């Protein structure tokens, strides 16, 4: 018998058997007067805090109307009760009664003993392998909720909806500091219909008063760059949007968020830590907020935290994988495993977002060509973010020596380096990486401009601002040259329009 047929038979039979066992267990129970659908509704309400009808209907993937009919019956039977929220009497929440809780506990105990009996004859190793295989199959089915079954030849780069904001081409250009993605690159990307992102990492490094008044110089340069980028974007046929990337770890985080919004930034993107209190900043009400995460757990935490504290959810989520350039959201020893799990993590995060309408998932890290983008899309991404590929464009704000370093580099020239931010970073091998990396030398810090919260200048291996500024001024031997794992693939200087044409081909 062929494997496909056998697996199909097993899956169908397994599904029917579990349903029959559940039905039998419910019929045999002297305490419970519930159908299978009803017990699953009770499970969706859960034994925790009261939930709104919309939350439960979303979890069950049914309409609020259908749920209302079911809840009316469960209230009559004594399993569920309704209550009004004291702060807003218009909102009704539902929760389990003690009888409802007991029913869920009894049903969970049934599931527990069913699974224990089913795997009783497996060794620990066999059980582990079984979990891995069945989890992969489960992930596939979960994916079908948001992905029509289609081969990659039918995949397209579709416009993104972020609330009322439409991004015609689902490409974000990653924020790149210091001085790599400023108004030139961000404006050109937005003009092509994507999201151009200015980096708020020390944007004032070339202002005459940067050393004396870094915050003032940064704020001024940030605002100027946003306005310039918006003006460039407006010249495009179907422009996308201009965003700003502000690291959670940045000192004066809130001031930079406010300055960016005042200057007209349409999207605030925040990573290098979880932006848990970003929506607390009053002005963010009028812009789109996009956290950068490196796992489904982090995405779930942000969603839960923002909805509970601020009644708000992200307008998109960026998943930045382990092949990205710059600071990475993984410990060095996790990088290999994270690389293997890249597509699985995309599916997991997409699942985490499945209850949020209009919250696209943008995938970053190692996306270099259209095929990379389509592969990410086939696993659940709605769009992609690229950093490295945009560095060798005419419009990129980096000096030519920086772009040339990308063109010259081979696969073996990309390395991982420790950063005072407290995360590993991916960068190009050069004299600087050799000195502070392999040789473990410490670069004395003459002046500190207090750029990031976690840095302690008396113990930091080097000053990250000085090292990045050297690179941004063209000293690519003694500066820190951030780059993605695919930097070696850059082989020509191209225009932003060339890249967009390539990605849009066939869409």
Ligand X SMILES: Cc1cc2nc3c(=O)[nH]c(=O)nc-3n(C[C@H](O)[C@H](O)[C@H](O)COP(=O)(O)O)c2cc1C
The stretch near ligand X (CB under 6 A) out of 52-60, 131-139, 344-352, 360-368 is 360-368
366 is an interface residue for ligand X by CB under 6 A = yes
At closest approach, how far in Å is the CB of 362 from ligand X? 9
If the CB atoms of residues 41 and 465 are measured against ligand X, the closer one turns out to be 465
Contact 349, 379 (CB under 8 A): no
176 is an interface residue for ligand X by CB under 6 A = yes
Selected from 26, 302, 324, 451, the binder of ligand X by CB under 6 A is 324
Selected from 225, 245, 284, 430, the binder of ligand X by CB under 6 A is 245
CA angle 253, 257, 259 (to 5 degrees): 115
177 is an interface residue for ligand X by CB under 6 A = yes
Selected from 41, 218, 266, 486, the binder of ligand X by CB under 6 A is 486
If the CB atoms of residues 103 and 483 are measured against ligand X, the closer one turns out to be 483
Selected from 100, 175, 360, 383, the binder of ligand X by CB under 6 A is 175
SS3 415: strand
At closest approach, how far in Å is the CB of 499 from ligand X? 11
Q: Is the peptide bond before 178 cis (omega within 30 degrees of 0)?
A: yes
User: Nearest 10 degrees: CA dihedral of 256, 257, 259, 260?
Assistant: 110
CA dist., res. 133 & res. 312, Å (int): 36
Orientation angle between helical segments 183-191 and 214-234, nearest 10 degrees: 30
If the CB atoms of residues 245 and 284 are measured against ligand X, the closer one turns out to be 245
Strand order across the beta sheet in which 424-428 lies: 326-327, 424-428, 414-418
Selected from 423, 483, 490, 496, the binder of ligand X by CB under 6 A is 483
Residue number closest to ligand X, CB atom: 174
Chain centroid to Cα 418, Å, comes to 23
Contact 181, 396 (CB under 8 A): yes
360 is an interface residue for ligand X by CB under 6 A = no
345 is an interface residue for ligand X by CB under 6 A = no
**Residue whose C-alpha is closest to residue 292's, from 217, 371, 340, 361:** 361
β-strand partners of 327: 425
Selected from 385, 392, 433, 465, the binder of ligand X by CB under 6 A is 385
Alpha helix stretches (DSSP H) within 379-480: 388-391, 400-408, 431-433, 464-472
388 is an interface residue for ligand X by CB under 6 A = yes
If the CB atoms of residues 71 and 364 are measured against ligand X, the closer one turns out to be 364
If the CB atoms of residues 217 and 272 are measured against ligand X, the closer one turns out to be 272
The pair of three-digit structure tokens given for residue 243, joined into one six-digit string: 């965003």
CA dist., res. 322 & res. 271, Å (int): 14
Residues 400-419 that bind ligand X (CB under 6 A): none
433 is an interface residue for ligand X by CB under 6 A = no
The stretch near ligand X (CB under 6 A) out of 120-128, 134-142, 144-152, 316-324 is 316-324
247 is an interface residue for ligand X by CB under 6 A = yes
If the CB atoms of residues 306 and 368 are measured against ligand X, the closer one turns out to be 368
Q: 28, exposed or middle or buried, with CB in 10 Å at 0-12, 13-18, 19+?
A: exposed
Cβ neighbours for 384, distance < 8 A, ≥ 6 positions apart: 170, 171, 172, 362, 363, 364, 367, 372, 373, 376, 377
Residues 270-299 that bind ligand X (CB under 6 A): 271-272, 292
Residues 196-225 that bind ligand X (CB under 6 A): 199, 201
At closest approach, how far in Å is the CB of 436 from ligand X? 17
If the CB atoms of residues 79 and 390 are measured against ligand X, the closer one turns out to be 390
Selected from 244, 299, 323, 338, the binder of ligand X by CB under 6 A is 323
Cβ neighbours for 212, distance < 8 A, ≥ 6 positions apart: none
Selected from 32, 244, 361, 367, the binder of ligand X by CB under 6 A is 367
**Residue whose C-alpha is closest to residue 180's, from 446, 434, 365, 406:** 406
Q: Which residues bind ligand X (CB under 6 A)?
A: 174-177, 180, 199, 201, 245, 247, 271-272, 292, 320, 323-326, 364-367, 385-389, 482-484, 486
């Amino acid at each position: 018998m062929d494997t496909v047929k056998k697996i199909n038979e097993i899956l169908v039979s397994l599904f029917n058997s579990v349903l029959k066992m559940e039905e039998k267990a419910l019929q045999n129970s002297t305490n419970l007067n519930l159908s299978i659908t009803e017990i699953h509704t009770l499970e969706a309400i859960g034994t925790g805090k009261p939930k709104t009808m919309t939350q439960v209907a979303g979890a069950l993937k049914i309409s609020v109307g259908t749920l209302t009919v079911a809840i009316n019956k469960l209230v009559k039977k004594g399993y569920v009760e309704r209550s009004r929220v004291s702060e807003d009497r218009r909102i009704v929440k539902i929760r389990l009664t003690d009888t409802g809780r007991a029913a869920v506990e009894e049903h969970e105990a049934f599931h527990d003993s069913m699974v224990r009996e089913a795997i009783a004859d497996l060794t620990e190793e066999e059980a582990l392998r079984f979990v891995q295989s069945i989890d992969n199959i489960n992930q596939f089915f979960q994916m079908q909720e948001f992905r029509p079954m289609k081969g990659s030849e039918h995949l397209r780069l579709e416009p993104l909806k972020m609330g009322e904001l439409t991004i015609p081409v689902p490409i974000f250009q990653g924020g790149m500091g210091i001085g790599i993605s400023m108004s030139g690159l961000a404006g050109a990307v937005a003009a092509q219909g994507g999201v151009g992102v200015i980096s708020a990492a020390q944007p004032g490094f070339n202002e005459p008063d940067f050393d004396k008044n870094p915050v003032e110089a940064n704020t001024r340069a940030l605002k100027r760059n946003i306005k310039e980028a918006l003006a460039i974007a407006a010249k495009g046929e179907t422009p996308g949007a201009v965003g700003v990337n502000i690291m959670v770890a940045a000192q004066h985080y809130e001031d930079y968020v406010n300055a960016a919004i005042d200057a007209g930034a349409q999207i605030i993107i925040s990573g290098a830590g979880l932006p848990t209190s970003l929506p607390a900043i009053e002005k963010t009400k009028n812009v789109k907020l996009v956290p950068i995460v490196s796992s489904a757990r982090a995405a779930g935490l942000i969603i839960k935290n923002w909805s509970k504290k601020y009644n708000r959810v992200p307008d998109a989520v960026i998943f930045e994988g382990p092949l990205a350039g710059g600071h990475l959201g993984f410990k060095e020893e996790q990088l290999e495993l994270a690389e293997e799990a890249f597509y699985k993590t995309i599916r997991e995060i997409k699942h985490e977002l499945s209850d949020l309408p209009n919250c696209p998932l943008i995938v970053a890290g190692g996306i270099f060509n259209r095929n990379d983008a389509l592969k990410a899309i086939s696993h659940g991404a709605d769009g992609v973010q690229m950093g490295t590929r945009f560095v060798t464009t005419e419009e990129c704000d980096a000096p030519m020596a920086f772009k040339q370093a990308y063109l010259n580099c081979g696969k073996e020239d990309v390395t991982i380096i420790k950063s005072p931010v407290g995360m590993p970073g991916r960068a190009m091998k050069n004299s600087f990486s050799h000195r502070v990396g392999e040789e473990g030398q410490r670069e004395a810090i003459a002046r500190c401009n207090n750029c990031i919260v976690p840095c302690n200048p008396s113990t930091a291996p080097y000053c990250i601002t000085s090292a990045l500024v050297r690179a941004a001024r063209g000293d690519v031997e003694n500066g820190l040259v951030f780059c993605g794992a695919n930097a070696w693939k850059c082989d020509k200087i191209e225009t932003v329009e060339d890249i967009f044409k390539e990605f849009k081909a066939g869409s």
